[in-house]
Structure 1
């Protein structure tokens, strides 16, 4: 069984082979938006302060 590879995937793989510096730029962009250091104490405080959501949000009787 042959593995399917889309045209876009082929293009990106070949383009990144021809432009290896772009991998570094891609990593910098990811670090800018996604790869943030995590603080366990802050996350625990957020978890403790969360309020449970009602089963039906618009029910004013409960």
Structure 2
């Protein structure tokens, strides 16, 4: 018979999830707030068109 091994980190994560059952939902909400957003392509195009090209040497006064 094989004994199933669980690392200390796996045990820690399981205990953490038991102690904080709402943590996974908070992670999903945080991801949605920061990453899962619709991109406004017209606005992005406006930002790209408004860029001013940078000179080769930015500290030159001429």
**TM-score interval, normalised by the smaller of the two chains:** 0.5 to 0.7
1:17-28 mapped onto 2 (5 Å cutoff): 18=18, 21-28=22-29
How many equivalent pairs are there? 52
Specify the structure having the higher radius of gyration (Cα): 2
TM-score, length of structure 2 as denominator length: 0.56
Q: Gapped runs of 5+ residues in structure 2?
A: 1-7
Structure 1 residue 31, shift from structure 2 partner: 1.6
TM-score, length of structure 1 as denominator length: 0.56
> RMSD of the TM alignment (CA)?
2.5
Structure 1 residue 35, shift from structure 2 partner: 2.4
